[in-house]
Amino acid sequence: MTARTPNSEAIITCRNVSIAYGRQEVIHNASLDIPRGAFMPFVGPNGAGKTTLLRAILGLIRPRRGEIVTPFGTVRPGYVPQHGTIDPLYPVSLRQIIAMGLYPQLGWWRRAAKKLKRSVQEALDAFGLGDHADKTFSELSGGMKQKAMLARAFVSRAEVFIMDEPTSQLDEKSEKEVFAHLLRLSRDEGKTVLMAVHGMHEVLELPPQVCLVEHGRVRLAETSDVFAMAKGGR
């Protein structure tokens, strides 16, 4: 299955991918081509396998069968995990957490140049976190923590963004702003955006196709059909 976008060159390809936790197979024989510049929501009910599939695409889980081809060996994606994975015990500021997104550029030893420090400040400002830059993670609200994760993903100016329910802790206004920003990245800058969303209503401007994950089955579906199915009670 190949999603329709202006640029049809696939940046991520899944071929006959099956993923299992122990004996339980959670993704069955999924094949998917995601073109460069696609804006692709992964929709489906809780426990359908959206997170598992995204984690496999990121290389965090090895599929039991099949093959996933990504450019992430050389080009690192921007990633927003589902839950805050940062322990609030750590004495690190929000600025340091966001600077973590620059690791592919900085490596283990380079000091951040002025330009990179400016990008951290821009990422902070873009999410309204400028005044909280020196606070630690434990001092932030749930919504701010999620914005911090988004800012960390965006600071890298990656080609591909993979996000797992990136707005679950945000209020409606912030949610709209984040989706508008993601759409802009995809349309204007040709960035590829994959994100798991729980319900279709979360994404305000839906692309023509979405990736539907249901009971471990993965398929590209016309957005209008998915809406019709949802209305029909499925």
Partner 1 sequence: MWENMRAIFEMFPEAVIAGAAIGSVCAMLGVFVILKRVVFIGIALSEVAACGIAAAIMCHIHPFLGATTLTLATVIVLSYPFENNRLPRDAVLGVVFVLASAASILIVAHSGFGLQDVKALLYGDLILASDADLSLILWIFIPVGVYLLTFLRPTLYTFLDRETARVLGLRVVLWELLYFFALGLAVSAASKVAGSLLVFCYLVVAPSTALLLSRKLWLVMIISTIAAVAATMGGLYVSFSRDLPTNQTIAATACVVLGGAVAISAIRRGLWFVLHVAQKR
Q: Do residues 31 and 14 make contact, with C-beta atoms less than 8 angstroms apart?
A: yes
Q: Least distance (Å) from partner 1 to the CB of residue 35?
A: 21
Report the residue number, 44 or 77, with the smaller CB distance to partner 1. 77
As to burial, measured by CB atoms within 10 angstroms (0-12 exposed, 13-18 middle, 19+ buried), residue 168 is middle
Q: Least distance (Å) from partner 1 to the CB of residue 230?
A: 31
Report the residue number, 91 or 233, with the smaller CB distance to partner 1. 91
Q: Least distance (Å) from partner 1 to the CB of residue 136?
A: 5
Q: Least distance (Å) from partner 1 to the CB of residue 105?
A: 10
User: How far is it, in rounded angstroms, from Cα 45 to Cα 129?
Assistant: 32
Interface residues with partner 1 (CB under 8 A) are: 58-60, 72, 76-77, 79, 81, 85-87, 89-93, 96-97, 100-101, 103-104, 106, 108-109, 136, 152, 156
Q: Do residues 27 and 176 make contact, with C-beta atoms less than 8 angstroms apart?
A: no
Report the residue number, 79 or 179, with the smaller CB distance to partner 1. 79
Helices (H), 140-192: 142-155, 172-189
Report the residue number, 152 or 191, with the smaller CB distance to partner 1. 152
Report the residue number, 39 or 72, with the smaller CB distance to partner 1. 72
Q: What is the DSSP letter of 73?
A: T
Q: Least distance (Å) from partner 1 to the CB of residue 98?
A: 12
Nearest to 50 by CA among 172, 162, 178, 192: 162
Residue where the block lists tokens 């994606």:
77
Q: Which amino acid would we find at residue 20?
A: A
User: How far is it, in rounded angstroms, from Cα 60 to Cα 164?
Assistant: 13
